[in-house]
Amino acid sequence: MSNITLTTLLAHKRSGEKITMLTCYDATFAATAADAGIEVLLVGDSLGMVLQGHDSTLPVSVEDMAYHTAAVKRGNKGALVLSDLPFMATATLEQTYANCATLMRAGAHMVKLEGGAWLTEAVTGLAERGIPSCVHLGLTPQSVNVFGGYKVQGRGDEQAEKLKAEALALEQAGAAMLLLECVPSPLAREISQAATIPVIGIGAGPDTDGQVLVLHDMLGLSLSGRTPKFVRNFMQDANSINQAIENYAQAVKQGNFPASEHEFSA
Ligand code: KIV
Ligand code: NA
């Protein structure tokens, strides 16, 4: 696979080719996923749950994220590496810049920030300083204590309009990509059509510009014993991990994943 860049992803957005993204936390899985056709390796702060065993992502530090980003960078074979800013790493503009610099130096090509329209200043400043950013909207797990649980966001006309306005404000501010988690499919479709930057979905239906899943979820591994509604276990029809990841990448490219049973209604 030749190197995937932001230009590749923008070309996919324009041509309608789906973007494949998967979380990845170490060198061997980075090599495996890149070989299997994953275009974006997300070093997600979900590692706090699936690797570290915490019951939320809040305990994850910037140092943890840098450690795993560096490991992914070493194993990567041409995918774009996207790294999460963990809980409170974006508390102030100054901290945001410093923490993004740490992740970029560790090997990230782009950073992901959880939030909303309040991030516009950070997003503009990052772009000016050479750091492309992806803003994670909808169910932002770092705010689980504000939401009172892991709940679908953007339901009802008022909330949907608000989320769409935030998405477009962030694009306007210079975000390179958006990620929508657990929002109704019609809202995700509307935002994807309105935005000129790639919109990636998880639990956001089939009409975003690309899809992401947590590696452990799609391999059928679960610490809690609960699997979110939007997950498919790709190990079920595969005889190796490599095959499962390849099947996921192909299902996304062909529009066979997600299916109706993985969607949330408005
Ligand atoms: O940390 C993560 O794995 C994520 C995905 C759920 C999008 O942010
Ligand atoms: Na995350």
Query: pLDDT tens for residues 72-100?
Result: 999 999 999 999 999 999 999 999 999 99
Find out whether the beta carbon of 207 lies less than 6 Å from any atom of ligand 1. Answer: no
DSSP labels for 14-71? HHTPPEEEEE--SHHHHHHHHHTT-SEEEE-TTHHHHTT--SSSTT--HHHHHHHHHH
pLDDT above 80 (res 6): yes
d(CA 206, CA 263): 8
d(CA 189, CA 193): 6
pLDDT digit string, tens, across residues 11-58: 999 999 999 999 999 999 999 999 999 999 999 999 999 999 999 999
Element (H, E) at 202: strand 199-202
Q: Residue 25: what pLDDT?
A: 99
d(CA 18, CA 199): 10
Spacing, Cα 204 to ligand 2 middle (Å): 15
Nearest CA to ligand 1 atom 4: 44
Which has more pLDDT, 83 or 1? 83
| Lookup: tokens for 20 | 């494949």
114 is an annotated ligand-binding site residue: yes
Beta bridge partners of 21: 40, 212
Residue in this structure with the two tokens 């061997």, named with its chain if needed: 28
Find out whether the beta carbon of 246 lies less than 6 Å from any atom of ligand 1. Answer: no
d(CA 65, CA 125): 21
**What's the pTM?**
0.98
- Given the cut 0.85, state whether the ipTM is greater than it: yes
pLDDT above 90 (res 1): no
What is the signed CA dihedral for 245, 251, 257, 259, rounded to 10 degrees?
-130
d(CA 86, CA 229): 24
Mutate to test the pocket of ligand 1, among 25, 45, 231 (most ligand atoms within 8 A of CB): 45
d(CA 25, CA 72): 6
112 is an annotated ligand-binding site residue: yes
Find out whether the beta carbon of 134 lies less than 6 Å from any atom of ligand 1. Answer: no
Length, in residues, of the chain: 266
Beta bridge partners of 181: 138, 202
The band of 2, judged by pLDDT with boundaries at 50, 70 and 90, is confident
- For 148-179, letters b (16+ CB in 10 Å) and e give eeeebbbbeeebbeebbebbbbbbebbbbbbb
Find out whether the beta carbon of 44 lies less than 6 Å from any atom of ligand 1. Answer: yes
Share of the chain above pLDDT 90, in %: 98
Mutate to test the pocket of ligand 1, among 202, 219, 223 (most ligand atoms within 8 A of CB): 202
Task: Give the closest residue to 253 by CA, choosing from 17, 5, 34, 3.
Answer: 17
Q: Residue 120: what pLDDT?
A: 98
- Distance between alpha carbon 4 and the CA centroid of its chain, in Å? 16
73 is an annotated ligand-binding site residue: no
Q: Are 35 and 2 in contact (CB under 8 A)?
A: no
Spacing, Cα 148 to ligand 1 middle (Å): 19
Spacing, Cα 84 to ligand 2 middle (Å): 6
> Any idea which residues carry the catalytic annotation?
181
d(CA 234, CA 236): 5
